[in-house]
Structure 1
Amino acid sequence: MRITRRKVLRGAAGFGATVVFGRAWAATEMDLGDLRITTLSDGHLQLPESFLIGDLPQDEARAILDAAGVAAGGYEPPCNVTLLRSGEDVVLFDAGAGSTFMQSTGRLPEALAALDLSPDDITHVVFTHGHPDHLWGAIDDFDEPLFVNARHLIGRIERDYWVDPETPETIGAERQSFAAGAARRIELLADRLETFEDGDEVLPGVVARASFGHTPGHMSFEIGGGQALVAGDAIGNAHLAFARPEWPMPADQDPEKAARTRLALLQDLAERGVPLIGFHLPAGGMGSVKKNGDGYAFVPGR
């Protein structure tokens, strides 16, 4: 397994001596035999510090964040969409946030273009869960599916949760817009959206692995016979989630269940030496898990 990071430049020369440079995209890649995995940036979130710490032990949490270089007052985690190329399959794990969630997100179409790909080239979109930064980008500004040639797949439990009419009443006021947005986009996808179960091989070499807690039906995916794990938000950051995986994190819808899931995943990944790909992890989200005292550490690019 080899992980590389390269910059893909897109620029345009203006009239005369004026040069206008476009955005520089950094693509992190991993080769697994005939499989190539690339993470693409959809931008980043802009979150308050309370989203990280909540009711956790303030002093200890702040010390971990300080050591990780996370400044007080706010948090801007990256959004890494995973692209898998295998034969004729061009697969996205999650679809980004689209243009209506946060101004700092919705960059996936530009990132694809930097690799000379368009939404029309995508053959499959596989969702880890239904939160805005993972699902909303599947629908364009005209309420049409963006990836018109793609099969769309989501775990059945996750799909059923977001379309349940009781969800907006039980999810909590701060997440009610998540419920409305997910239900609307699932309705717009209609019969394009297929479901699967834990343990299903959703595509050749891609096996669904239940990682419930962040959302009720969150799924991770073993790639290439267990050569890598696309973890979505089951391991949501590279500091608190690794140093204190047993803590109930405020970002999770079921914090206690998510903590049990996270601890089991980290233990398994560290013992097996399997590369991890996380949606909100740094350095393109690719790295390995190492035991570190009573907790774990994320080691990018190894």
Structure 2
Amino acid sequence: MSQAETRPRTIGQQETNMNPNNASHSGKAGPEELVPSRYAVRVGDIEVLVVSDGVLPLPTTMLAHNADPAVRAAWLDEMFLPPDAFDWALNVVLVRSGAQTILIDAGLGLDPNLNLPRAGQLVKRLEAAGIDLASVTDVVLTHMHMDHIGALLVDGVKDRLRPDLKIHVAAAEVKFWESPDFSRVFMPAGFPDALRAAAKRFTEEYRSLLRLFDDEHEVAPGVVVRRTGGHTPGHSVIRLASGGDRLTFAGDAVFAVGFDHPDWHNGFEHDPEEAARVRVRLLTELAKTGEQLVATHLPFPSVGRVAVDGDHFRWVPAFWDY
């Protein structure tokens, strides 16, 4: 099955041309993939394209380092997941609202020291969708972990971006990475150093393009970024709203295990207790509003809704629309 055969009808032909004035159609199609790597939805008048940046294999202890190992193992078994390691999805969102084309997060990029060959697919998958990097007017970062800024650090990418690009990120996030605290995380060896290096390089290379906000900022009509903290001090979520429709991109506030066990601590959380409180507040809000949810590490295409199920939550995946 090719990507063309799984093209959703919601955006139609515009799926491969998020900005008709700037999108390039000169790129050759790459080899067929076994599964699609992009999925289009519409939020009122706002066009949304969820793009897979690939997968990131990590130890399952990263899901819940504060949980009883037996309880964690039982959850993995119930979910038909391997006991030791599995692939975390990496999702990025491209949004068109009015005249603006907005990239929300930028994937992992290509760090040769981490040996993660199945991640860092964003640039080539945008090209496969007919999206020219020069058509992107704004970038919004949920936070500055390397799997959210990495593509911007790939050699040659900065030269392909427009000189008036605006990169929106919480001021608290930039401040945090001046002297980051890793005392409460639970990461595999090598990751803290890689995260520090990526954030430092990103700040140095893109400082002049940064547009900082404190708590909330409207990036484009119907596109609002709001700082939540928790995962990192400046972690933010993005809400899209148009014509009565809503969709929230939750970044790393929500993981697959977080519906059943929102109090379990993820290894990448710099303030695990606050991250859990943020998660519960956000899931409670989404269950009340019934709006759509997309998150970085939920299984692609990560489009669904949240329901309350007793004392925890339930993920309700959207039916794919072809």
- Measured against the shorter chain, the TM-score band is 0.7 to 0.9
Decide which moves more: 61-70 or 136-145. Answer: 136-145
Aligned mates of 1:146, 1:259 — CA distance in 2: 38
1:280 to 283, 288, 297: 297
2:126 to 95, 106, 112: 112
Q: Does 1:233 align with 2:252?
A: yes
Which whole-Å deviations, capped at 9, do the CAs of 1:93-121 have from their partners, x for residues lacking one? 00111111532211111211222112122
Which whole-Å deviations, capped at 9, do the CAs of 1:113-138 have from their partners, x for residues lacking one? 22211212211111000001101211
Cα pair distance change 1:139/1:295, threshold 3 Å? same
1:224 to 237, 241, 245: 241
Decide which moves more: 290-299 or 127-136. Answer: 290-299
Q: CA deviation at 1:171?
A: 7.3
Q: Tell me which residue corresponds to 2:223.
A: 206
1:99–1:141 contact (8 Å) kept in structure 2: no
Cα pair distance change 1:26/1:231, threshold 3 Å? same
Q: CA deviation at 1:251?
A: 2.9
2:98–2:221 contact (8 Å) kept in structure 1: no
- Number of residue-to-residue matches in the alignment: 287
2:180 to 167, 176, 191: 167
Q: Tell me which residue corresponds to 2:67.
A: 56
Aligned mates of 1:43, 1:185 — CA distance in 2: 21
Q: Does 1:70 align with 2:81?
A: yes
Q: CA deviation at 1:79?
A: 0.6
**SS of the counterpart of 1:152?**
strand
5+ residue gaps, structure 1, are: 13-19
1:261 to 261, 278, 281: 278
Cα pair distance change 1:178/1:21, threshold 3 Å? closer
Q: CA deviation at 1:168?
A: 6.2
Which whole-Å deviations, capped at 9, do the CAs of 1:54-100 have from their partners, x for residues lacking one? 23122222222222221111021111101111222111100111111
Aligned mates of 2:174, 2:138 — CA distance in 1: 17
2:50–2:94 contact (8 Å) kept in structure 1: yes
2:56–2:118 contact (8 Å) kept in structure 1: yes
Q: CA deviation at 1:277?
A: 0.9
**SS of the counterpart of 1:59?**
helix
1:143–1:188 contact (8 Å) kept in structure 2: no
Aligned mates of 1:197, 1:203 — CA distance in 2: 17
Q: Tell me which residue corresponds to 2:41.
A: 30
Q: CA deviation at 1:253?
A: 1.4
Cα pair distance change 1:122/1:143, threshold 3 Å? closer
Letter in 2 for 1:93: I
Q: CA deviation at 1:32?
A: 1.6
1:31–1:37 contact (8 Å) kept in structure 2: yes
2:55–2:118 contact (8 Å) kept in structure 1: yes
Letter in 2 for 1:179: R
- Greater strand fraction, Structure 1 or Structure 2: 1
Aligned mates of 2:184, 2:157 — CA distance in 1: 25
2:184–2:271 contact (8 Å) kept in structure 1: no
Q: Percent identity?
A: 32
**SS of the counterpart of 2:32?**
strand
Runs of 4+ in 1 over 6 A off after TM superposition: 7-12
Q: CA deviation at 1:264?
A: 0.4
Q: Does 1:147 align with 2:161?
A: yes
Q: Tell me which residue corresponds to 2:138.
A: 124
Give me the TM-score of the superposition, normalised by structure 2: 0.81
Which fold has the larger relative contact order, with Cα–Cα distance below 8 Å and residues 6 or more apart in sequence? 2
2:252–2:296 contact (8 Å) kept in structure 1: yes
2:52–2:301 contact (8 Å) kept in structure 1: yes
Give me the TM-score of the superposition, normalised by structure 1: 0.87
Q: What's the C-alpha RMSD, in Å, of the aligned pairs?
A: 2.5
Q: Tell me which residue corresponds to 1:247.
A: 264
5+ residue gaps, structure 2, are: 1-5, 9-14, 17-26
